[in-house]
Chain A
Amino acid sequence: MQTKLTAPAVLDREFLEMRAKVLQLAASFDRLDRAEGAVEGDSRLTQLAQAIQLLQSERPDKAEEVQMIFSRAFSPNWRDELGVDQHV
């Protein structure tokens, strides 16, 4: 199924909202810079940087990929690692 709206219609509808979200992010980074103390090396900053970089890509699944940046990995061997048998 396709979106019913044309690309110009989507941009018309969402431009101000997207602009506002970028501004909010910019202001959050400024606020971090002005604040006392240091957060360098905090892994959450790395996740944010990766996510922002991904927004510039051409890929069609950016929302899914941003989700994965902020997700813990799944191990197919999780049962052995946790000691869980399938049968109760």
Chain B
Amino acid sequence: MYYFDPHIHMVSRTTDDYETLAKMGCVGMSEPAFWAGFDRGSVESFRDYFRQLTDFEMKRAAQYGIQHYTWLCINAKEAENVELSREIIAMIPEFLDLPNVLGIGEIGLNKNTRNESVIFLEHMELAITHQQQILIHTPHLEDKYQGTRMILDMLCGDARLDRSRVLVDHVEEHTVRHVLDAGFWAGMTLYPVSKCTPARAADMIEMYGPDRLLVNSAGDWGPSKPTAVPDFVLEMRRRGHAESLIRKIVYENPLTFFRQSQNFQFTPPDVLAESPVEG
């Protein structure tokens, strides 16, 4: 089955991982900008990172037939540095017209602080004034519920925002309902240890239905599994769910959401294969 991983950090993965993902049916992915494991010191450091996301990763993915898209921002952890964050927000429009840029993300909260909230709102302003979609990181563990509610409060406080163009990621049992009820898209991040498992993601699909729900692997430099979406597919099959339902969640839903970005020019591989080869 073809699938699309809507949230995966390929800069921290090897080229072997691209090959494995391609063999498992991954035909497209979107990679939000995130924390590098250490705080970066200057706006130039981010400019180089954005070049990596908008050029190098796209080419690396294409070698395996995977279409790579990306989102740009300064992540919540580094947003504690307000001065640097503002320099980066001012620089982002340079990149917004590049062919694989889908919007602003993953913005969000980490420790639910004042500075994180201020920079979240400034990113929101950037997205709204440039008609960009938004991808959101919600905090982990004991901070998730509080942080998700704060984020929803900020999003719902701005009437200019089109909620169908916003994806709130890392939802779990206690936050998914709040996100969906408010009209946003929700992503479940499958992690081997600390986050949601494929079985619990399948439970949430059974409880809330497949509309506006996505699953992703996060696949970052921490303990994570880039092949987590195929694990979810297998779990759904083992429970007896229809292939059409599984395909909606791992393939059609991501396409429906991403097609709202003007830069999303995804060509399904079955269409690619039917077009004549020149030469």
Contact = CB atoms under 8 A, between A and B. Distances in A.
To the question of whether A and B form a pair in one complex, the answer is yes
A83 interface: yes
B117 interface: yes
Interface in B126-175: 141-146, 149-150, 153-154, 157-158, 172-174
Contact of B145 (A72, A76, A83): A72
Looking at chain B's contact residues, is the secondary structure mostly helix, strand, loop, or mixed? helix
A82 B145 contact: no
Contacts of B153: 76, 78-79
Interface stretch (B7-15, B29-37, B50-58, B203-211): B203-211
A82 B153 CA distance: 14
A55 to B, nearest CB: 14
Nearest to A74: B149
A67 B145 contact: yes
Contacts of B146: 71-74, 78
B122 interface: yes
A25 B229 CA distance: 29
Contact of B142 (A70, A79, A83, A86): A70
B23 interface: no
A88 B203 CA distance: 39
Interface in B12-68: none
B84 interface: no
A8 to B, nearest CB: 14
A82 B117 contact: yes
